[in-house]
Structure 1
Amino acid sequence: MGSCTSFFLVFLVFYVGEITSVPHVFEVHIRSGLDLPGNNLIVGCWSGNDDLGIHVLLPNQEYSWRFRDLFWPGKHSVFWCKFQWNDLSNKFQVINTGWPSHCGSSNVILPKAAGCRTYRWLVRPKGFFLAVTDKPIPSDYEYKAPWQKY
C-alpha cells in the first residue's frame, strides 16, 4: 500500500471518527425570576478549567454560556454555580454532562444526541427550577433545590 493510500485511510478514519464523536455543544441559561425591584441575584459559576466570573442579574435578566463537552470517553464537563440573594444562598452543579438527559415536560430520558443539551435555570424566591429544553413553557420547569440561609 502506498504512502498516499495509507495517509488517505488514516485521514478517513479520523474524519469519520470526528463526525460521529464530535463533542456536543451544551448551553446553560440562568434567569432571575426574583420579580421585585432591587432583588439582585449574584451568580458565580466555574468548572474545573474555567472561572466564568461573578454576575449580578437584575429581575428577569439572564446570564448564559455555551461549551463543548470533553472529548475523552468517560470524562464529563461539570459546572458549578454559587447563588446569593439577600441573606440566602446556595451552591450546586448546574450541569454535569454525565447526567441522563431529561427533555421538556415529558421527562423522558433521551440520549444527548436527541438535542437535550440546553439547561435553563429559573431562580425564584421559592428556590431553583430547571427545564432541559430549548423553548420551555412554565410546566417544563422542575423544582430542584431550595435557598439556604447563610
Structure 2
Amino acid sequence: MGRSLSWFFFVVVAAALLPAPTIAGRLELRNEISGVTIARKAKLAVRCWSNEDDLGWDILKPKQSRIWKFTTMNMWPFQKTEFRCQFRSGFGTTNEDVVTVFSVKDGFREACGVGGDECIWVAKRNGFYRRKIVKDGNGRKEFVDILKSKWVWKW
C-alpha cells in the first residue's frame, strides 16, 4: 500500500508542475501606410516564423491586416512561444533585419499591453510601431502606438 500511495503522490505532484498553456496568443500585423500616390510603395511585405511554424512571405496592401492565433506556453522553464518577422516596404526595412513580434519571455507580454496575450504591430509611412493596449479610466481598451523603427535602406 505504501508504494501505491508514493506512486500516486508522485503523479499528482508531477501533473501539478507540468506547464499549462495560456488561453491563446494573438499576433496582428497591420498596414496603415497612407498618403502614397504609388500603390507599390504602400505595400508591406512580411515574413514571420516561430520555432515550430514558418508562416512564409505575405504582401499586405494598405488597410489590410493579418491575424494569427496560437497556444502559448508560459511556465518556467518552458517559456518558448516566440514569433519573429522580417518587414519590407517601399520606404525600406526595419533597423533590425529580424524583429521579435511576440514572445512570452522577459516581460515582453507586458510590453504589448493589457492582457499581454495579444500583440499588434503597425506599419506607417514614417516607421514601424508596436501598438500597446491600455485601459482608460472607464476600463475600455485604448491603443498607444510606440515607434520601434524608422524605415531604413539596407543593401
TM band (smaller chain): 0.7 to 0.9
Q: Contact 1:26/1:69 (CA < 8 Å) preserved in 2?
A: no
TM-score, length basis structure 2: 0.70
Q: What is the total number of aligned residue pairs between the two structures?
A: 138
Change in Cα spacing, 1:99 to 1:132, as seen in structure 2 (3 Å) is farther
Q: Contact 2:112/2:118 (CA < 8 Å) preserved in 1?
A: no
Change in Cα spacing, 1:89 to 1:63, as seen in structure 2 (3 Å) is same
Corresponding residue number in structure 1 for 2:48 = 45
Matched, 1:62 2:62: no
Corresponding residue number in structure 2 for 1:107 = none
**Alpha-carbon RMSD:** 2.9
Q: Distance in 2 between matches of 1:115 and 1:145?
A: 24
The offset of 1:4, in angstroms, is 6.0
Amino acid at match of 1:120: I
Structure 2 gaps, min length 5? 135-139
The offset of 1:128, in angstroms, is 1.3
Matched, 1:85 2:94: no
- Select which of 73, 97, 105 maps to 1:98: 105
Amino acid at match of 1:33: E
Q: Say which SS state the counterpart of residue 16 (structure 2) adopts.
A: helix
Amino acid at match of 2:142: I
Change in Cα spacing, 1:61 to 1:99, as seen in structure 2 (3 Å) is farther
Q: Distance in 2 between matches of 1:17 and 1:30?
A: 34
Amino acid at match of 2:32: G
Structure 1 gaps, min length 5? 105-113
Q: Note the alpha carbon deviations across 1:56-108, whole angstroms, 9 max, x for none.
A: 1111111121232366606433321111112511232112221311364xxxx
The offset of 1:7, in angstroms, is 5.5
The structure richer in strand per residue is: 1
Corresponding residue number in structure 2 for 1:27 = 26
- Structure 1 runs (4+) deviating above 6 angstroms are none
Q: Distance in 2 between matches of 1:136 and 1:103?
A: 13
